[in-house]
Amino acid sequence: MSGRGTAVRVHHRPAFALHPRAAVLLVAASLIGILAFGWPLLIHVQAGQNTAHSTDAPWIFLALVPLLLAIVVSEISEGTLDAKAVAVLGIVAACGAALRIPSPGIDGFEPMWFLVILSGRVFGRGFGFVLGASMIFTSALVTGGVGPWLPFEMLGAAWMGLMAGCLPPAIGRREIYLLAGYAVVACLLYGALENMWFWPFVAEGTRFGFVPGAGLVENLHRFLLFDLTTSLGFDIPRAVTNAALILVLGRPVLNALRRVSKRASFDPLLDFEPVA
């Protein structure tokens, strides 16, 4: 005797589902970021290190923050983002800012990044993007780290959270190893990216400086030499610290974030499947 029944499978959508309008805004913010990092390579202006991006950084910041707010408002208007998701975003951003207070980049010890990576993994790409930028902004206000570097740090952190939400599926120890490996790569790339915001303005006339009009390969070679000889001593400890935190604390933190996601119940979707 056999029969068939119906099973109910519950899916929880990400806190930021990135509907088309929000996705367009996210792409626009990323394009502004790419332009902000890259324009000195196209139109080089000789300036000292202390004046790097001193004139355009406020405009970049004024363009970035409204776009971040627009992404959130867009998801709220679509009905896919509710007060619970906004509360979770605020709490996690505050926790990340608190992690940065005792470690303002000294010797590369920055444990906040493991929280950005794990949150982007659990809550999705849009959440990771907004979280990274808002976490840097909040911590800058708390620690007094406001300057022309702030919008570039916000963009780098936003991209780190975004890409964490794009990692392939994995479970168990494989997921932890995947996230730890991503932390190493992401932290090293973040350090190199943050060098790019001021590198065209410094070290002119040296073998490490940017040469206007030179080929892409030559300038890339000079930038790699600059990165290896200046900030790698900070980038490697940052990468090792966050990878170690994920290996040690990744599983309990992931479980805690997933419990929050489940209890917040971001519009659970029900699938009815026939079973034997």
- Residue 3 located in a structural domain: no
User: For the chain, how many helices (H) and strands (E)?
Assistant: 9, 2
Domain range for 92: 16-262
- Residue 86 located in a structural domain: yes
Inform me whether the pLDDT recorded for 274 exceeds 70. no
pLDDT of residue 146: 76
- Residue 116 located in a structural domain: yes
Q: What is the C-alpha to C-alpha distance for residues 243 and 54, in angstroms, rounded to an integer?
A: 34
Q: What is the C-alpha to C-alpha distance for residues 128 and 254, in angstroms, rounded to an integer?
A: 14
| 48 — pLDDT class (breaks 50, 70, 90) | very low
Share of residues in the chain with pLDDT > 70 (%): 75
CB neighbourhood size of 30 (10 A): 16
Q: What is the C-alpha to C-alpha distance for residues 247 and 205, in angstroms, rounded to an integer?
A: 44
Inform me whether the pLDDT recorded for 11 exceeds 50. no
- Residue 95 located in a structural domain: yes
- Residue 235 located in a structural domain: yes
> What is the number of structural domains in the chain?
1
Amino acid at 226: F
pTM: 0.79
- Residue 100 located in a structural domain: yes
Q: What is the C-alpha to C-alpha distance for residues 228 and 221, in angstroms, rounded to an integer?
A: 11
Q: What's the Cα-to-Cα distance from 119 to each of 69, 123, 222, rounded to whole Å? A: 19, 6, 35
- Residue 146 located in a structural domain: yes
Average pLDDT, the chain: 78
CATH number of the domain enclosing 37: 1.10.1760.20
Q: What is the pLDDT of residues 210-265, one digit of tens each?
A: 777 777 788 788 888 888 888 888 889 899 999 999 999 999 999 999 888 877 65
DSSP label at 51?
G
Q: What is the pLDDT of residues 61-86, one digit of tens each?
A: 777 778 777 777 776 666 566 677 78
Q: What is the pLDDT of residues 219-230, one digit of tens each?
A: 788 888 888 888
Q: Which residue has the tokens 């702030």?
A: 150
pLDDT of residue 111: 86
Cα 85 → chain centroid: 18
- The three-state secondary structure class of 15 is coil
Q: What is the mean pLDDT of residues 182-202?
A: 87
Q: What is the C-alpha to C-alpha distance for residues 78 and 87, in angstroms, rounded to an integer?
A: 18
Amino acid at 52: A
DSSP label at 265?
T
- Residue 117 located in a structural domain: yes
> In degrees rounded to 5, what are phi and psi of residue 63?
-85, -35
pLDDT of residue 186: 94
